[in-house]
Amino acid sequence: MSYKPEYPNLCNFLHVGKCTLRNRMASAPMGFPDLTEDGCLTDGAIAFYEERAKGGAAIVTVSEACVDYTHGKSHGRLINLTNPGVLANLTNCARAIKRHGALANIELNHAGMLSEFDVVAEERKGVEEVHYGPVDCVVNNTQVKGMTKEIIDQTVALWAKGAALCKRAGFDMVMIHAGHGWLIHQFLSPLTNKRTDEYGGSFENRARLALEIIDAIRREVGPGFPIEVRFSAMETAEGGIKLEDAVEFAKLIQDKVDILHVSAGGEPDFGITHPPMFAEPGCNVKYAAEIKKHVHIPVATVGALNEPELMEEIIASGKADIVCMARALLADPELPKKVEQNRTDEILRCIRCFVCHAERMLTQTRVCALNPVIGREYEAKFIPKAAKSKKVLIAGGGPGGLQCALTAAQRGHDVTLCEKSDILGGSLKCETNVPFKAAFSKYVKTMSRRLELAGVKVCMNTEVTPEFVREFEPDALIVAVGADPLVLPLPGMDSEKVVFGTELEYKEDRIGKTVAVLGGGMVGCESGLYLAEKGHDVTIVEMLDVLAPDANPRHRPILMKLLEKSVAIKTGLKASAVTEEGLVCIDKDGKEVLIRADTVLAASGMKSRTELADSLRGTAPEVRVIGDCVQPGIIRNATFNGYHAALDL
């Protein structure tokens, strides 16, 4: 049978400068924070970028190469282009990307007045405490000096020197980061550029720094060497960059560069630059589409893109020439290859949970909730096939069990997974009706397909008991039986008015007009938001003073803003009973408060199925207990534990 791509436009090549993209799917800049203290790439960082090249991306962009490590470093550890020792590992990184047929790209940046805004104090030793920006100001309690003409010239020279170094290291192209609130963006934006000289005032003046940097880099890299410019098409703050400004900027630079990479948002606009699960897929494509109308060079778009159908339409309709993905290629680095090979049913879609961003803030590591290999690509190269194939039984078809079954089968074991119910997914099953959680049901579907291809035998409606295990006689048993909803010992909890959050999928028709959500954790908050969007009058009741303390620090602020607009929030209330009138609570002063409600949605936590798990211990030569039945948690923990349990077999 002759090959015919299902997505011909997405799989089509594209000439850019002297280079050719093998398809229209690019890996957008993603930092790998595990670098050396002096800003060199580690073997782990190189393996991280190589994984995207192996997965079929046409361009792989190494992120956050700082052109001025003394005055322009934003995060704790970035690639230090001013370090003479960085050349060798840059070269090894470019080679690792290129040997798989991808173009090696690198993002050049300077944080400007936001320098060191995310640098821990103990790593600032030896760093000169001088921050530069368009004008004198104070940012994060730090004095920022307006850049003199001499400092501007020195900075432009550093950009050019950094680009020349990257070309010498073997990179095929460079990206100039002119967006997201960093230095060039600070000059472009009327919000931050209040200068009165030739670098301020009119749009042409505010764009002068960008033009000087582009021209200086071009002189260093020569003609035909692709230069990509990443910029923001808008800012949400009043008086910031507007789309018409971005169009003018694109027209101004189009004859000097090769790709216009259109993003959105300034420094405070994290949820715009990185669309959350609550945003529509491809919500920022409209900015690239408008700019595309006014220029004659390739335009790249980015933001919440991982559906092949949508990306094909973007290219086919001329809204953009290249689609860039970051989080989507964390969840599944092989997405481009699977598109090219017509294997889209195997693509693991990003759920936009922000675990990848939050973990960098919390631990300076890069992880993914769905892909346990992320951040461990280097060590994964050395994981061998199993020395001996074992007969493995897995009890439970939640995220931990699914990942364990897949990894064990890939290592050569004979795997059987048993699920007590008629649906895989574990605790994710209750979220299949929620539109902003649509990716969760796709995750389960994709994992089911992957298990099928890996040869895992899946037995539905099959409860694993001690007797079942002894009759099955496995070499190893993985217990992933999950958790049950925590039932508070309150009068009325057995009432027909009460619906548990885990039952939302199939009991939504029982939910009345007014709803009291009992429990303000992430599950309660997201369920309450969903019901409010469906037209219910929702009140979230929480005993603590804050909502969703279990949400990660990137997801939580966005969730809170949405809740404040759509639901009533009652904190500091302890539930005491469910009555015909609603939910009775006690406030901090001991006074009784009634939250009138037709329905009480109970989302007060989960309880591990410890007794069930314990009953299965000792029934096989090797028993491992993982996931929620150890401690209720997030999908990331279940995935991680399932993966490593399989590696231990």
139 confidence band (pLDDT: 50, 70, 90): confident
2 belongs to a structural domain: no
Give how many domains the chain has, as a whole number. Answer: 3
Q: What is the CB neighbour count within 10 angstroms for residue 20?
A: 11
Residue 430 in this model has a pLDDT that exceeds 80? no
Domain annotation covers residue 1: no
Cβ-in-10-Å burial (0-12, 13-18, 19+) of 57 comes to buried
Mean pLDDT, residues 535-548: 96
**CA distance linking residue 226 with residue 59, whole number of Å:** 12
pLDDT band at 633 (very low <50, low <70, confident <90, very high): confident
| 259 located within any domain | yes
- Residue 118 is predicted with a pLDDT of 59
Q: What is the pLDDT of residues 242-259, one digit of tens each?
A: 999 999 999 999 999 999
Single-letter code of the amino acid located at 549: P
Calculate the average pLDDT of the chain.
Answer: 94
Looking at the fold, whether 557 and 623 belong to one and the same domain comes out as no
Residue located via tokens 């690198």 = 106
In this predicted structure, the answer to whether residue 210 has a pLDDT above a threshold of 70 is yes
Q: φ, ψ for residue 471 (rounded to 5)?
A: -75, -35
Q: How far is CA 542 from the centre of its chain?
A: 28
- How does pLDDT run across 353-366, given as a tens digit for each residue? 999 999 988 888 99
Flag whether 492 is in a domain. Answer: no
In tens, the pLDDT along 473-520 reads 999 999 999 999 999 999 999 999 999 998 888 889 999 999 999 999
Distance CA 528, CA 18 (A): 53
Look at residue 324 and tell me whether its pLDDT is greater than 90: yes
Angle, vertex CA 194, rays to CA 188 and CA 196, nearest 5 = 105
pLDDT tens for 571-589 read 999 999 999 999 999 999 9
State whether 552 and 613 are in the same domain: no
pLDDT at 331 over 80: yes
Tokens of 638: 């279940």
Q: Report the distance separating Cα 379 and Cα 331, nearest Å.
A: 18
Question: Is residue 407 located within the same domain as residue 370?
Answer: no
Confidence at residue 124, expressed as pLDDT on a 0 to 100 scale: 54
Q: Sorting pLDDT into bands at 50, 70 and 90, what band is 628?
A: confident
- Domain identity same for 594 and 633: no
Would you place residue 143 in the very low, low, confident or very high pLDDT band (cuts 50, 70, 90)?
A: confident
Kindly report, residue by residue over 107-133, the tens digit of the pLDDT. Answer: 999 999 998 765 555 555 444 567 899
310, 306, 271, 269: which is closest to 289 by C-alpha? 310
Identify whether the C-beta of residue 375 lies closer than 8 Å to the C-beta of residue 34.
Answer: yes
Question: Tens digit of pLDDT for each residue in 160-202?
Answer: 999 999 999 999 999 999 999 999 999 999 999 999 999 999 9
The residue-averaged pLDDT of 439-446 equals 93
> For strand 574-578 and strand 476-479, is the pairing parallel, antiparallel, or unpaired?
unpaired
Examine the domain organization and report whether 449 and 584 are in the same domain.
Answer: no
C-alpha atoms less than 13 angstroms from C-alpha of 536 in its C-beta half-sphere: 25
Lowest mean per-residue pLDDT among 3-12, 110-119, 403-412, 459-468: 110-119
Longest dimension (CA), the chain: 83
Same domain, 592 and 617: no
Same domain, 263 and 187: yes
Angle 50-383-64 from CA coordinates, rounded to 5°: 25
226: tokens are: 């692709």
CA gap 367, 32 in Å, rounded: 10
Give the mean pLDDT of 11-38. Answer: 96
DSSP character for 75?
B
Token digits of residue 232 = 């923001």
**CATH number of residue 520's parent domain:** 3.50.50.60
* Cα dihedral sign, 34-35-41-43: negative
How many Å apart are CA 116 and CA 257, to the nearest integer? 29
Question: What does the block give as tokens for 590?
Answer: 């001991």
616 and 588 in one domain? no
- Please report, for the domain that includes residue 72, its CATH number: 3.20.20.70
pLDDT in tens, 597-617: 999 999 999 999 999 999 999
Check whether residue 257 and residue 315 sit in a common domain.
Answer: yes
Is the pLDDT reported for residue 403 higher than 50?
A: yes
Instruction: Give the single-character DSSP code of 369.
Output: S
Is the per-residue pLDDT at 278 higher than 80? Answer: yes
Q: Are residues 78 and 95 in the same domain?
A: yes
Beta partners for residue 584, in sequence order:
577, 594
> Residue 432 above 80 pLDDT?
no
CATH of the domain at 628: 3.40.50.720
Residue 599's DSSP bridge partners are: 515
CA 260, distance to chain mean position in Å, is 23
Host domain of residue 612: 388-485+608-647
- Other C-beta atoms within 10 Å of 121: how many? 7
Same domain, yes or no, for 183 and 319? yes
C-alpha to C-alpha distance for 84 and 394, rounded to whole angstroms: 52
- Which residue carries 């007014």 as its tokens? 514
What percentage of the chain carries pLDDT values higher than 70?
98
- What's the rounded Cα separation, in Å, for the pair 410 and 404? 10
Q: What does each C-alpha distance from 258 to 19, 22, 211, 296, 569 come to in angstroms?
A: 10, 16, 14, 10, 50
If you count them, how many residues does the chain have?
Answer: 649
User: Does the pLDDT at position 347 exceed 50?
Assistant: yes
Q: DSSP string covering 246-273, please?
A: HHHHHHHHTTT-SEEEEE---TT-HHHH
Q: Which residues pair with 539 in a beta bridge?
A: 516, 568
Residue 473 — φ and ψ, nearest 5°?
55, 60
What local confidence, expressed as pLDDT, does residue 126 receive?
44
The predicted structure's pLDDT at residue 127: 46
pLDDT in tens, 404-419: 999 999 999 999 999 9
Q: What is the mean pLDDT of residues 415-429?
A: 93
566 and 468, same domain (yes or no): no
